[in-house]
Amino acid sequence: MGAVKTPVRFHHVSLSVGDLSAQEAWYGEAFALTHVAERLEMPEMGVRTVVLSDTAGLRVEFVERPGSSPVSPADPFAATVAQTFTHLALQVEDLDAAYARLTVECGAAPVSPPAPGVTEGMRYAYIADPEGNLLELIETSRD
């Protein structure tokens, strides 16, 4: 008899940032993460957090703590030298349009341009947010 499995579903991802206000504004503009689901300040720890969400249910928590240091890998493969989460992957409807908008209008740094993925009908690209965090944009075929 097998062990009882624990059913789960994704809730949110947390991102340590250097400038909470700037990242909150950038992700609001870039990805419509404009609903504040939660905001917390812990002055004794010097920590400020905000959880932002969009209308589709994506939730991202941003945590600012003085003295934190950025880890900004040059690309997705360089990110794998540390055993941690390496990037945030977001599905988009039109990869080319999203990539162009984010790199031109929103100031995201281009990391790798749109390219075919391993899975048939999937394409991907990488960008970096203003603090250098890697974001993968994924487009899947519309059947």
Domain range list for the chain = 9-67, 70-143
Under CATH, to which class is 70-143 assigned? alpha beta
Listed in sequence order, the DSSP H helices in 66-121 are 95-100
pTM surpassing 0.85? yes
Per-residue pLDDT of the chain (143 residues; tens, 9 = 90+): 678 888 888 889 999 999 999 999 999 999 999 999 999 999 999 999 999 999 999 999 999 999 998 888 888 888 888 878 889 999 999 999 999 999 999 999 999 999 999 999 999 999 999 999 999 999 998 65
Strand partners, 37: none
Strand partners, 51: 38, 61
Question: Rounded CA gap, 56 and 73, in Å?
Answer: 29
CATH code of 9-67, in short, is: 3.10.180.10
Question: Rounded CA gap, 73 and 143, in Å?
Answer: 35
Question: Rounded CA gap, 61 and 13, in Å?
Answer: 6
Question: Rounded CA gap, 110 and 94, in Å?
Answer: 16
Say yes or no: do domains 9-67 and 70-143 share a fold: yes
